[in-house]
Amino acid sequence: MLAQRLVAALARPAAQQPLWPDPARTAAVVRQLREAAPIVTPAETARLSARLAAVARGEAFLLQGGDCAETFADNTEPHLRANLGLLKRIALVLTHAAGRPVVPVARLAGQYAKPRSQPVDAQGLPVYRGDIINSVEPTLAARTPDPHRMLRAHANAARAMAWARRICREELADPHALHQQNLRFVGSSPVGARHLRQAEELDRSLRFMAGLGTRGRTAQQSEIYVSHEALLLDYESALLWADTRGPEPLFSSGLAHFLWIGERTRGLDGAHIAFAELLSNPIGVKIGPNTTPEQAVEYVRRLDPHATPGRLTLISRMGHAQVREVLPPIVEKVTASGHQVIWQCDPMHGNSQTSGNGYKTRRFSHIIEEITGFFEVHRELGTHPGGLHLEATGEDVTECLGGARGLGEDDLPARYRTACDPRLNAEQSMELAFTVADLLAESTVHHLERAR
């Protein structure tokens, strides 16, 4: 029955899929993938579901982030350490500000497929669709979709997951060490003085905990969950466990704990939403500025049929100029439906622009403005601003404009390394973290006042 539903889901129109040149070879690769080892376990995914239920109830915060596009070349321990370290450092600042747990979900171990606006690039070549499909190198041969890349993606994801588990357990579980790195940011950033008070308060809290005899190295501190966009359906549908623990039999993805459906593939009649309906994993749906409140309620109805808190995350990416106008009626209508979704802000994808010198970029001030608008909307409506979804790296790239160092267009070429969209660098990310910390602290106060 479930297998038949899967066949029916995949028979629906699927946007953004590659035209594999040799279907027989693709089928052979998919058969091989079905035999491959899973990247994550259902028990881990169930643990994330429980953590996300707390987020949906307003008792925790979801922090998701990482590269726009993972690449095979950058799948190295140092790169993962930098990105995971950044995620954990941001999480520490936000945990302290919110006085609530932060659930860390990396864009990692599978974020290899990219939806694109145009099928061809400026040179007339097939566009780069992520390392799982073709190569970024600008030649016709390299851009031709190659199904064998799905096997390479799986092997890379398995390696990344093993590293991520080890790095988070052995290197990033000590809040004191993370805090020391954050203090270095505060000491060296041109806007560090602005964040000194927050850093000192965190310092005091950590010393207080040490006084109580705990360094805070808990199992929760070393946890990490992974996520990616469920875009390439040949890959996503190849590794599924049967999951009979819930109210109806479903599949649990063996490829990631959390999967999201992107803005370009969220059509209600399409294969991606139908596929997501068959998963027991927590699911995200990106909602852009054209989303209507009625559509949002339909996602809730289809993807959260049993009204499970945190099962669905609605990831708004409206753009800084539209968030205050477009988001409120959506939040109101979904709230009235009685479902407890997670409201997450992706301040990246609605704020992309092309610089005068031809780089795809984003302005730091626009990113902050969208997050501020998101918090304002939820404060106004009395709902929980439950999470943040960032494209960010712990490396010192020059891809987004602005921030404390005032990165300008002329700075972009120096270290513009992304394979797709521009990421915040480590310093811009920490500046954002301290800014969001203030917003979160405020929202916690309002939450407590309302609860009284």
Ligand X SMILES: C=C(OP(=O)(O)O)C(=O)O
Q: Distance (Å, rounded) from C-alpha 47 to C-alpha 57? A: 16
Per DSSP, the residues of 380-412 read: HHT--EEEEEEEB-SS----SBBTTTTB-GGGG
Is residue 276 a contact residue for ligand X (CB under 6 A)? no
Nearest distance, CB of residue 231 and ligand E4P, angstroms: 9
CB nearer to ligand X: give 269 or 449.
269
Q: Are 37 and 108 in contact (CB under 8 A)?
A: no
Q: Write out the E strands in 329-380.
A: 342-345, 352-354, 360-362
Piece in contact with ligand X (CB under 6 A), picked from 8-16, 39-47, 149-157, 262-270: 262-270
Nearest distance, CB of residue 325 and ligand X, angstroms: 18
Using CB under 6 A, which residues numbered 104 to 123 contact ligand X?
Answer: 115
Residue 65, number of CB atoms within 10 A of its CB: 27
How many chain residues are in contact with ligand E4P, going by CB under 6 A? 9
Residue nearest ligand E4P, CB atom distance: 117
CB nearer to ligand E4P: give 147 or 422.
422
Task: For residue 69, give the 3-state DSSP assignment.
Answer: coil
Judged by CB under 6 A, which of 40, 420, 424, 426 binds ligand E4P? 420
Judged by CB under 6 A, which of 51, 143, 257, 349 binds ligand X? 349
CB nearer to ligand X: give 75 or 222.
75
Q: For residue 221, give the DSSP letter.
A: G
* Annotated binding-site ranges: 68, 107, 263-264, 286, 317, 349, 391, 421
Q: Are 310 and 317 in contact (CB under 8 A)?
A: no
Segment holding 62, helix H or strand E: strand 61-66
Per-residue contact string for residues 236-275; x = within reach of ligand E4P by CB under 6 A: ----------------------------------------
Using CB under 6 A, which residues numbered 98 to 127 contact ligand E4P?
Answer: 114-117
Nearest distance, CB of residue 367 and ligand X, angstroms: 14
Q: Which does 267 bind (CB under 5 to 8 A by kind): ligand E4P, ligand X, none?
A: none
Judged by CB under 6 A, which of 44, 146, 229, 395 binds ligand X? 229
Piece in contact with ligand X (CB under 6 A), picked from 29-37, 149-157, 260-268, 405-413: 260-268
* Annotated binding-site ranges for phosphoenolpyruvate: 107, 263-264, 286, 317
Residue 140, number of CB atoms within 10 A of its CB: 9
Please name the amino acid found at residue 343. Answer: W
Using CB under 6 A, which residues numbered 45 to 104 contact ligand E4P?
Answer: 68
Q: Distance (Å, rounded) from C-alpha 263 to C-alpha 318? A: 11
Q: Are 254 and 14 in contact (CB under 8 A)?
A: no
- Greatest alpha-carbon pair distance for the chain in Å reads 64
* CA distances, 264 to each of 105, 145, 251 (Å): 22, 20, 24
CB nearer to ligand X: give 92 or 419.
419
Is residue 68 a contact residue for ligand X (CB under 6 A)? yes
Nearest distance, CB of residue 347 and ligand E4P, angstroms: 13
Is residue 286 a contact residue for ligand X (CB under 6 A)? yes
What are the counts of helices (DSSP H) followed by strands (DSSP E) for the chain?
A: 14, 12
Two structure tokens written together for 339: 């479902």
Per DSSP, the residues of 6-27 read: HHHHHHS--TT----S-HHHHH
Per-residue contact string for residues 360-379; x = within reach of ligand E4P by CB under 6 A: x-------------------
Which residues neighbour 212 within 8 Å (Cβ) at sequence distance 6 or greater? none
Residues forming contacts to ligand X in the complex (CB under 6 A) are 68, 115, 229, 262-264, 286, 317, 346, 349
Residues forming contacts to ligand E4P in the complex (CB under 6 A) are 68, 114-117, 349, 360, 420-421
